[in-house]
Amino acid sequence: MTFYYAQVKNERVISVLESSKEMENKPDNVIQIDSLDISLINKIYSNGQFLDPPPQPKTYSRLQIIEELGDIYTNIVTASKSDVETEIWLEKFRLTEFFDFSRQNDVDSIQFLVTKGFANQEKIDSLILP
């Protein structure tokens, strides 16, 4: 007979094991499962259930955001010549290498583009929402 186990660390499945013998005195972080199901790896184990982990926040390099914005970025650069708020935003943008939209400051920064009318909310949501 074959036995299968999921090894859990910090509520996340880190491996799936197969054994020809039943594990005696198995540790609390080892859960017996029905099959060698590798799709369980990285799932969250909570209250006896294997759950999909929450989506990871999106992260972008500055160049990736410029490419995603396309013509919007050109409009920002043009507007920065005559609008101080836009110039300050652009300067901060250029000093930031990576944007992690799990950080509220990065979300607020990119949300500025909606506030100033450079982009609509749908475009910004496509950047920041997982």
Per-residue pLDDT of 10-25, as tens digits, reads 999 999 999 999 998 8
The gap from C-alpha 98 to its chain's centroid, in whole angstroms, comes to: 13
Residue 55 has a pLDDT of: 84
Q: Residue 54: which pLDDT band, with cuts at 50, 70 and 90?
A: confident
pLDDT tens digits, one per residue of 60-78: 999 999 999 999 999 999 9
Tokens in use for 122? 């749908």
**pTM, rounded to two decimals:** 0.63
The secondary structure of 65-114 as a DSSP string is: HHHHHTHHHHHHHHHTTT-HHHHHHHHHHHH-SEEETTSHHHHHHHHHHH
Query: Under DSSP, is residue 121 helix (H, G, I), strand (E, B) or coil?
Result: helix
CB distance 62 to 98 below 8 Å? yes
- Per-residue pLDDT, 5: 96
Mean pLDDT, residues 70-89 taken together: 97
Per-residue confidence band for 129, with pLDDT thresholds at 50, 70 and 90: confident
